[in-house]
Structure formats: C-alpha cells, structure tokens
Amino acid sequence: MPRKKLEDLDKPATAPAPATKSEAKPDAVVVSTQDSTTRKVKLDLEVDTTVKDLGPNPYVRLIHMARAIDAWRIFPRMFLTVYIVLLYKVVIWFMELPAPSFEQSGLVSIVVGAGAAWFGLYTGSSKSKK
C-alpha cells in the first residue's frame, strides 16, 4: 500500500477497500470533526527491534575512568575542603572585628548554616547502585 501524503491527511477519512488481506489496515486514518481545529490521527507503526552488533565500545576506558572518579568522590570532597577553608577564614575574620554589626553576624550565620546543608548532601549521596 503506498504511503499517504501530507495533503491526503487533511481530507476526511474514508475506508479504503483492502486490496489484499495483508493491507487490511491503512497506515494513517484521520478522524475529523466538524471543527477544523481538532483532529485525531491513528497510526500503525512498524519498529525494528533486532539487536545489531556494533563491535566493542570505543569509550570503555573513558567510562571506566568516569566510574573511578565517581567512586572516589573527588568533587564532593573538593567542595567540602573549599567550604572548610571558607568557614575558617570567615570565622577568623568575624572574631577579629571590634564591634560586629547585625549584617556581619548574619553573614557568618549563613556560612555556618550552609555547612549543615553541605554535610547533609555529602552523607546522603551514597553509592549503593552498581
């Protein structure tokens, strides 16, 4: 059965007479309503599900390296190290102030409070899947 063109889909659906038993269903049928803004299209699709052997994966070494970096948790540990240095510098700066203002104490409070969030994210992201 030949494929329908885009222009043919705009026409009202008519039931074509099947030429053979294998062509009992059309490829696309447009069910049109009186209102031209809404249309329903029914499609029959054939999907090729055969497995194709493409040979060895050329990215195996890169995937292995990415899994090793993920297992070592380099980036979370780097972020925590940077946070610890930031916290140390902010606390030392705050303690050296002669008369800290409300805004300065709010900044220190936010930096210290962010540590709880960092630590919670670090401990909550365990690697239990393989």
- On whether the CB atoms of residues 71 and 63 are closer than 8 A, the answer is no
Domain assignment present for 70:
yes
User: Average of pLDDT values for 90-100?
Assistant: 95
- How far apart (Å, rounded) are the C-alpha atoms in residues 101 and 94? 10
HSE, side-chain direction, 13 A CA sphere, residue 112: 10
- Tell me if 74 is assigned to some domain: yes
Give domain status of residue 67, yes or no.
Answer: yes
Q: How many domains does the chain have?
A: 1
Query: Given this model, what pLDDT does residue 130 score?
Result: 47
Domain annotation covers residue 50: no
Note the pLDDT tens digit of each residue in 71-92. 998 888 898 899 999 999 999 9
The residue count of the chain comes to 130
Give residue 79's domain range: 60-124
Q: What is the pTM of this model?
A: 0.48
Non-local (6+) Cβ contacts of 94 within 8 A are 100, 104, 105, 108
Q: Within a domain: residue 102?
A: yes
2 within domain boundaries: no
Over residues 8-14, the mean pLDDT reads: 61
Tell me, what DSSP letter sits at residue 105? H
